[in-house]
Amino acid sequence: MTQSDPIFRLEGVTRRYGNLTALEGIDFVAEDNSYIALLGPSGSGKTSLLRVIAGFETPDEGRIWFQGRDITDVPAHERGIGFVFQNFALFPHLTVFENIAFGLRNGATKVSDAEITDRVRESIDMVGLSGLEDRNPDQISGGQKQRVALARTLVMQPKLVLLDEPLGALDANLRERMQMELRAIRERLDVTFLHVTGSETEALAMGDRVAVLDAGRIVQYGTPDAIYDSPSISDVALFLNRFNLFEGTLKNGIFEGAFGAVPVASARTNETDVYAIRYDRTQIFDTDSSYLPGPALPVRYLASEYLGSSIIFLFETADHKTVEVDHHLSLGEPRDLIVGKNYILSWDPAQAIVFGKEITR
Amino acid sequence: MSAASTNRETKNTFRLLAPGVVWMILFLVAPIMMIVYVSFWTQTTFSINSTLTLDSWRNFFASEAYVGALWTTIRLWLIVLTLTFVIGYPAALYVGLLVKSKTVSTVLLVLCVIPFWTSFLIRVLAWRPMLGKEGAINIILQKFGLIDTPIEVLLFSELSVIIGMTQIYVVFMVGPIAFMLGRIDRNIIEAARDLGAGFGRIFWKIIFPLSLPGVVVGAIFVSVMVLGEFATSGALSGRKVNLLGNIIVTQVGSLKWAMASVVGVILTILLGIVVAGFLRIVDLKREI
């Protein structure tokens, strides 16, 4: 099977709860055998979208296609789509083994006991739970529960697995390990993972492709670097949490903001005029510096945050907006800054991304 | 931990336990011992003395009426227990699981309890105008031409006692089951669906096992109350149905303390066996 065959397709999927529209005419095509991260802030409708695909909820409008078949009216238990719940949702009265065997024992197709034992053992080995078969869910740790939930879904050999913030309930160390394991497990199994997350780092790190959901619409879908390098609208840049965003006005190819008027080579269509520059492309200068690579933004230094491989410097503009500068320590020692003192931030205007109502070429 | 602090903790434990222990000894253990003791006393027509004898016990098991009452009690208990379960479980399933809003499910549970705002006796006696020869049910059935002569077996029979008891005690089955069902995480039901299980499978493999502690608690409530019953059978059977409870009432009425004690001891043993049996089904400690 080639990478480009769609595993599932959404056509104008809309879901409303009373007056609230959770999903608004979503069109989406997902490639087979890939890891897709679905990024969205809370309330963007990402869990609703997952529940609609799984069949726990029916869309008010639109169709859902899975492996070339219209499954909009197929009940959840006949869809053959795996779902991993954020709270794991293990069966509390069954052992780890029986939790994983549940689908094989109780599904529509009869599976022999010998095959059940083989397949469950295989999944247990795959997720590294050997020796815990006879424990109850309340006798294992959070990370182990996560593995049981995953094994329980994967043992059914689904072609599509939906993961609802699967790492949300784990602590930071475990989260990083599970990120790598999830990717490794998926690659071995020829299956598509649709991983919902509110964390931009998780989405960029894990997805072969990332879909960004905002207010019930998919606003951008592409590879992590495409999204990182060229967010389609200013809201995407905002979720990525890597850009300083400045409001202003774009007129006749000139953007006017807190840093003065800057000529703009190109701008992307957006509902408001926004000027974006990445944290790590923003540079710090003294107020009397004779050389600046581009626009000059007067700021006051607030604090710094040490992250190991880099330092985040926090500044405040005259209108009390916080601006961040990310200095990679591989680029040399950071300069000493004095808290409360004024500095100038500047950047290469070619590296800025401008969004505007007016499109400039 | 030092010896002194261990000592203090033990002391505190005893202090905290003391009121409960004293209460239980005075009002539970001592009376039960007393009943057992009195059941071996010698009963003459007008008096009782503490000479120990097995006469009352022999009389109980020699009398067809008394042993018959024991079997009637067990039979009615099993019938009422089954009916409260069969009627109560679906109701609890609806209230505890199928109703999505917590508010609605609380309102429904309160509605189940509202009949208890009237006195027990009124609730029992209200069945008379319902079930009687010229009662509501017979009148309605006759009006619709479904029957020509009134059904007499409705009142003052075992049937009326069963109907009365089931109506009164079914709520004690609904409550605990609905509570357990309400605690089931909806996600695990969805997880079971996602793994390909249909509703029947989900019910038998997930929902029912998880509600079992509620069933056991409900069954214990119903059993304890039905086995000790005397008022419903007194009011609705026309003295045709004699339960162990009715025998105790008549024996005490005629000052036959020894025989009343024998029946009391038998009832207590029966209850003990029933409750212990139910507790073997689930480990309630794990649920609390």
What residue ranges define each of the domains in chain A, with the CATH number in brackets?
6-234 (3.40.50.300), 242-356 (2.40.50.140)
Determine, for residues B197 and A103 on separate chains, whether the beta-carbon distance falls below 8 Å: yes
CA distance B110 to B159: 28
Best mutation target among A102, A111, A160, A194 (most B Cβ atoms within 10 Å) is: A102
Residue B146 has pLDDT above 90, yes or no: no
The per-residue pLDDT for B153 is 82
Give the contacts of A254 (CB within 8 A, at least 6 positions apart).
A261, A262, A263, A264
In contact, A310 and A281? CB cutoff 8 Å = no
Average pLDDT over residues A106-134: 90
Query: How do strand A160-164 and strand A192-197 relate by DSSP bridges?
Result: parallel
What is the per-residue pLDDT for B284?
73
Average confidence (pLDDT) over B117-141 = 88
CA–CA separation, B210 vs B177, rounded Å? Answer: 10
Residue B79 has pLDDT above 60, yes or no: yes
**Residue B195 with chain A: CB contacts under 8 Å:** 77, 102-103, 106-107, 152-153, 156
Calculate mean pLDDT across residues B20-42: 94
Give B194's contacts in chain A (Cβ within 8 Å).
54, 56, 76-77, 81-83, 153
Contact B194 A108 (CB under 8 A): no
Question: Chain A interface, mutation test: which of B183, B190, B194, most A Cβ atoms within 10 Å?
Answer: B194
pLDDT of residue B156: 86
- At B241, the pLDDT band (50, 70, 90 cuts) reads confident
B206/A contact by beta carbon, under 8 A: yes
Q: What is the pLDDT of residue A2?
A: 42
State yes or no: pLDDT of B83 exceeds 90: yes
CA distances from A231 to A226, A254, B95 (A): 8, 21, 49
Comparison of pLDDT for A41 and B209, the residue scoring more: B209
Encode pLDDT of A287-344 as tens digits.
Answer: 888 888 888 888 999 998 888 888 999 999 888 889 999 988 888 787 788 888 899 9
pLDDT-based confidence at residue B287 (cuts at 50, 70, 90)? low
Q: Which of A75, A83, A89 has the CB atom closest to B185's CB atom?
A: A89
CA distance B101 to chain A (A): 15
Cβ within 8 Å, pair A87-B187: yes
Residue A210 has pLDDT above 50, yes or no: yes
Facing residue for A89 by CB, picked from B188, B197, B198: B188
Most confident of A302-311, B73-82, B278-287: B73-82
Position with higher pLDDT, A145 vs A2 = A145
Q: Answer yes or no: is pLDDT of A93 > 90.
A: yes
Highest mean pLDDT among A8-17, A248-257, B235-244: A8-17
pLDDT band at B3; cut points 50, 70, 90: low
The CA-to-CA distance between both ends of chain A, in Å, stands at 40
Segment holding A261, helix H or strand E: strand A260-263
Superfamily for the B51-287 domain: MetI-like (1.10.3720.10)
Residue A3 has pLDDT above 50, yes or no: no
Q: Would the CB atoms of B187 and A108 count as touching at under 8 Å?
A: no
Q: Indicate if the pLDDT at residue A1 is higher than 60.
A: no
Amino acid symbol at A348: D
Q: Residue A269's pLDDT is what?
A: 84
Average pLDDT over residues A228-234: 87
pLDDT tens-place string over residues B247-275: 999 999 988 999 999 999 999 999 999 99
How far apart CA A296 and CA B244 sit, in angstroms, is: 97
Angle at A54 between CA A52 and CA A56, to 5 degrees: 65
Q: What is the mean pLDDT of chain B?
A: 90
pLDDT in tens, A82-91: 999 988 999 9
CB–CB contact B192 A78 (8 Å) = no
User: Nearest-CA distance from B164 to chain A in Å?
Assistant: 36
Contact (CB, 8 A) for A46 and A20: no
Decide if pLDDT at A162 tops 60.
Answer: yes
**Tens digit of pLDDT for each residue in B85-111?**
999 999 999 999 998 888 999 999 898
What's residue A359's pLDDT? 66
CB A190 within 8 A of CB A154: no
Q: Is the predicted pLDDT of residue A62 greater than 90, yes or no?
A: yes
Decide if B205 touches A, using CB distance below 8 A.
yes
Of A54, A77, A91, the CB nearest to B196: A77
Give the pLDDT band (50/70/90) at residue A120. very high
- pLDDT at position A4, please? 54
Alpha helices for chain A (secondary structure H)? 46-54, 96-106, 113-126, 142-154, 172-189, 200-206, 224-229, 234-240
Report residue B7's pLDDT band, with 50, 70 and 90 as the boundaries: confident
Please tell me the predicted confidence (pLDDT) of residue B264: 95
